């Protein structure tokens, strides 16, 4: 397992970049504007992690700015922790066998979401290329929210 990023929703992207980059000294690694979803993702890394972030895409913080104003309450501004895994199906089966609900099954062989006992959303991402799609995962519905 490899730590990838932590996602935090921000209400003012410019103000957040000033804080994280200008004041804390993090470096912007990449930015993605998603018009269809109406959001912007900005990935930042600590100066000592910059080379690894550019090469391995980790470890980083992901700032998510939703273009439509939204008030974040109850921790809604915190999104999820993300980990790259060697075999997403094997890990999801292990978690499920031990009583963990798979909130977003790895239907695509690439991504799944579960929650910690405290309700923290955890994103599991298959390292490298997605695995071939297979059952029972391909047919599983989402459960709850993530």
The answer to whether residues 57 and 96 belong to one domain is no
pLDDT digits (tens, 9 = 90+) for 80-126: 889 899 999 999 999 999 999 999 999 999 999 999 887 888 999 99
Q: Which domain holds residue 126?
A: 86-139
In a domain, residue 45? The reply is: yes
Is the whole model's pTM more than 0.85, yes or no? no
If we measure between CA atoms, which residue out of 119, 122, 5 comes closest to residue 56? Answer: 5
User: Is there a catalytic annotation at residue 123?
Assistant: yes
Which of 123, 129, 135, 141 is the catalytic position? 123
The answer to whether residues 53 and 101 belong to one domain is no
For residue 136, pLDDT over 80 is answered with yes
Mean pLDDT of the chain: 92
Per the structure, the count of domains in the chain is 2
């Amino acid at each position: 397992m490899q730590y990838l990023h932590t996602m935090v929703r921000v209400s003012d992207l410019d103000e957040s970049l000033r804080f994280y980059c200008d004041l804390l000294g993090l470096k912007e690694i990449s930015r993605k504007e998603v018009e269809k979803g109406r959001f912007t993702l900005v990935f930042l890394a600590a100066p000592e992690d910059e080379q690894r972030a550019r090469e391995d895409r980790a470890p980083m913080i992901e700032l998510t700015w939703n273009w439509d104003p939204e008030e974040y309450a109850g921790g809604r501004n915190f999104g999820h922790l993300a980990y790259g895994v060697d075999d997403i199906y094997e890990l999801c089966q292990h978690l499920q066998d031990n009583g963990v609900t798979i909130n977003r099954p790895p239907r695509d062989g690439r991504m799944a979401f579960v929650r910690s006992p405290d309700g923290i959303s955890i994103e599991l991402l298959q390292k490298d290329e997605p695995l071939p799609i297979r059952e029972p995962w391909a047919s599983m519905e989402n459960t709850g929210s993530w």
